[in-house]
Structure 1
């Protein structure tokens, strides 16, 4: 079977075979039923539209599963050869039909299943989650935790977008937290992971309260091991973790009780935290957002408190707006 001398029109198979469907796969499709060929080609076709927040799940994952399905099918006895026909191309799926097909195909091909825990914005002390192994996780406002259905006694892996405090149940199976640029591995401990990939200072920061934690970046060999009271963050250029000095771990994790703690951080990142914590919108020009500030307050009950403190600290003014606040420069 080749791309140019076969068509699936009379077999009820997809007519819009994508241009990037590998030529060598056509021979491997022989011996499969028309419905099998149809499903695989349609899955490949719509994979461009698959988006998923969890790592390793998306276009590449769908296409990898298509190839695996073809290999598994070829290992079995052939059912019926697909007749030799010519491929006819039509435009890609569009509109509602594409959306429906995408959902159906993705439901079969996207494995493992992923559960998303999301702490809504406006939550001052976050969302508490108990995992299947008995570990407890507290998510800061706006944070998301992705957990697959494989999580359990043998495999304990999660993916974090945002800020979360982990109280991990002891087990022989390592507990792994993946972020956009780091990997944190423990057996049983209490620690905090902060990872906002869209922040001005985009990095993964880990604070340890008890136990020992291994933090690595792009290279596992370049990781660091943290003891209680120690912190590390991925380096801006190398993306490898480095030990942080003079960090008050208790203050750094005070968000769980409504506290705010920032050490030499861009005002823009502080604004993002305020927006998430109080579910409001704070606007500021780049000239203010790029300034740096250190700030600590054990408990903040309203955005007015912290807005006044920030404005006074960096020498700007603020005013209320319809959706929140605006920071602006004085004349």
Structure 2
């Protein structure tokens, strides 16, 4: 690697900003310098650059990353260092980008690498501005189906203190936060994934097509892979409802998210009672609540915002 003082700081391996700026066209350079100037003065109460300015700067760097000749054999290293200079220096690296599906709706997100994420009602994913360039990491709260594009970097989803790692495949993760055990359920429909507690990567299991595994904070390792009923597990993608021996407390939370209603259920003695059911064309929350109450010997009443369920 060259060590000319016009290109590098002699006291470190960080490229000199002035040398870096000169590699861009005038308009691109102005935007990048604006972001960098603010990053140096961030503790002096300067106004942060706009999201548009940051995106422009990162896009300009990304274009240079694609030009292998520009970096003269060191393009990967230089690209990573440049991105850190621009984004981490401004503290923007740590600002998560969030995509949500509101209650009563689902949402589809296409990430910068072409990966598609379908979010179930009340779910969200977060990732940082360098997704697709220096990492492909996401944080999931709720449930989502992933169609991951192949890439040089592993695609990792963190959820409920667990991690799912792949390179290119299709799978579903269910990781709602209401369960005290923090259970995560992974179902693979194509390819394979590695599933493990995020703090203990060595305690992993490999899942392949039509296999499922679960992990929660009270067990050391994800359960051994078993054959999954993918059509029932993925029923939510077609706006169907499927419950497989789910506790009533979990089912009612699912109905809250799906139909955007409040359901008051405080009978702790029955909260863990389980139920299996399938609705190909669910008509609404009340019809399902009525069915559940009939089967479980419960009653319900309509409230201002939803329903109250009692014995």
Q: Is the TM-score greater than 0.5? A: yes
Match of 1:222 in 2: 203
Match of 1:243 in 2: 224
Change (3 A) 1:239 1:267: farther
Return the TM-score normalized by structure 1. 0.64
Q: Deviations over 1:182-213 (max 9, x none)?
A: 10011111110111122255311101111101
Match of 2:273 in 1: 291
Match of 2:119 in 1: 139
User: What is the alpha-carbon distance in structure 1 between the residues aligned to residue 98 and residue 220 of structure 2?
Assistant: 26
Over the residues paired in the alignment, what is the CA RMSD in angstroms?
Answer: 2.5
Indicate yes or no: 2:237 matched with 1:256: yes
Checking the alignment, whether the CA contact within 8 Å between 1:114 and 1:149 is kept in structure 2 is yes
Indicate yes or no: 2:128 matched with 1:148: yes
User: What is the alpha-carbon distance in structure 2 between the residues aligned to residue 245 and residue 301 of structure 1?
Assistant: 32
Checking the alignment, whether the CA contact within 8 Å between 2:232 and 2:242 is kept in structure 1 is yes
Alignment of 1:50-65 (within 5 A): none
Alignment of 1:183-194 (within 5 A): 183-194=163-174
Match of 1:324 in 2: 306
SS in 2 for 1:145: strand
Return the TM-score normalized by structure 2. 0.68
User: What is the alpha-carbon distance in structure 1 between the residues aligned to residue 257 and residue 265 of structure 2?
Assistant: 16
Q: Deviations over 1:65-110 (max 9, x none)?
A: xxxxxxxxxxxxxxxxxxxxxxxxxxxxxxxxxxxxxxxxx99435
Match of 2:150 in 1: 170
Match of 1:269 in 2: 250
SS in 2 for 1:138: strand
SS in 2 for 1:250: helix
**Alignment partner for residue 187 of structure 2, among 203, 207, 214?**
207
User: What is the alpha-carbon distance in structure 1 between the residues aligned to residue 221 and residue 103 of structure 2?
Assistant: 30
SS in 2 for 1:232: strand
Instruction: Count matched residues.
Output: 228
Match of 2:293 in 1: 311
User: What is the alpha-carbon distance in structure 2 between the residues aligned to residue 234 and residue 245 of structure 1?
Assistant: 13
Match of 2:215 in 1: 234
Match of 2:24 in 1: none
User: What is the alpha-carbon distance in structure 1 between the residues aligned to residue 236 and residue 181 of structure 2?
Assistant: 19
SS in 2 for 1:220: coil
Checking the alignment, whether the CA contact within 8 Å between 2:144 and 2:173 is kept in structure 1 is yes
Structure number with greater Rg is: 1
User: What is the alpha-carbon distance in structure 2 between the residues aligned to residue 264 and residue 310 of structure 1?
Assistant: 13
Higher relative contact order (CA 8 A, sep 6+): 1
User: What is the alpha-carbon distance in structure 2 between the residues aligned to residue 293 and residue 119 of structure 1?
Assistant: 26
User: What is the alpha-carbon distance in structure 2 between the residues aligned to residue 281 and residue 203 of structure 1?
Assistant: 23
Match of 1:127 in 2: 107
Q: Deviations over 1:207-232 (max 9, x none)?
A: 11111011011311111110111101
User: What is the alpha-carbon distance in structure 2 between the residues aligned to residue 139 and residue 235 of structure 1?
Assistant: 21
Checking the alignment, whether the CA contact within 8 Å between 2:181 and 2:218 is kept in structure 1 is no
Consecutive unaligned residues of structure 2, counting only runs of 5 or more, are 1-39, 46-87
